[in-house]
Chains A and B, each alone.
Chain A
Amino acid sequence: DVKVTQSSRYLVKRTGEKVFLECVQDMDHENMFWYRQDPGLGLRLIYFSYDVKMKEKGDIPEGYSVSREKKERFSLILESASTNQTSMYLCASTRLVMSNQPQHFGDGTRLSIL
């Protein structure tokens, strides 16, 4: 069974802080993704990565950066947190080669910025 683990289920931070959200997968997947989920907006892609040290912007990358130093770990960074970044953050992974493989999600991190 694929396991995608997000380091925190709940996190409270203050405006202006630098925030790190960590995600680890145990299936040697090439692709990893960060989404945020907001009521009425569905899941929106922030960044994704095909391989170590590779990254590509998704639909809403502003205010975020990512890091992928090891294949199993993908970090989302809020450079200077703002209240509009209060959201549920979801990490996912999948294989690169087989295009019809579903993405597997972690349980999410509910982040509140005060």
Chain B
Amino acid sequence: DQQVKQNSPSLSVQEGRISILNCDYTNSMFDYFLWYKKYPAEGPTFLISISSIKDKNEDGRFTVFLNKSAKHLSLHIVPSQPGDSAVYFCAATTQGGSEKLVFGKGTKLTVNP
């Protein structure tokens, strides 16, 4: 049973426009969510996170929105740049737990110049 789902395997956007990556989860015990970015032949790099006590967290061009009632989160990148082209993984965990992360399958973002 897949607890964290990224239903879009790929996304293509034009440079300067907004990229929106989506993630759904099924486990209501999850209360901390993270986004990682991964380039080929490199390890994932932490991008941004959000706790369930918030509905929005912003860091520069990156904003994560959390809708707890819908069990849905999204990552917005504005404006998108060619260097943002990578695979983005959504992950979830429970605070105070074992710090085990449950990952989605990833979305490959391509930003075209």
A interface, CB within 8 angstroms of B:
4, 9, 31, 33, 35, 40-45, 48, 50, 56, 58, 90, 92, 94, 96, 99-108, 110
Contacts and interface: CB of A to CB of B under 8 A. Distances in A.
Contacts of B103: 35, 42-44
B95 A4 contact: no
B95 A108 contact: no
A99 B101 CA distance: 11
A48 B89 CA distance: 20
Interface residues of B, number: 26
Given A40-B9, A42-B89, A42-B106, A103 B101 contact: yes
A90 to B, nearest CB: 6
A56 B95 contact: no
Given A4-B43, A9-B41, A100-B51, 19 more contacts: A40-B105, A42-B104, A42-B105, A42-B106, A43-B89, A48-B98, A58-B100, A90-B43, A94-B99, A99-B95, A99-B97, A100-B32, A102-B34, A104-B46, A105-B43, A105-B44, A105-B45, A107-B41, A110-B41
Contacts of A9: 41
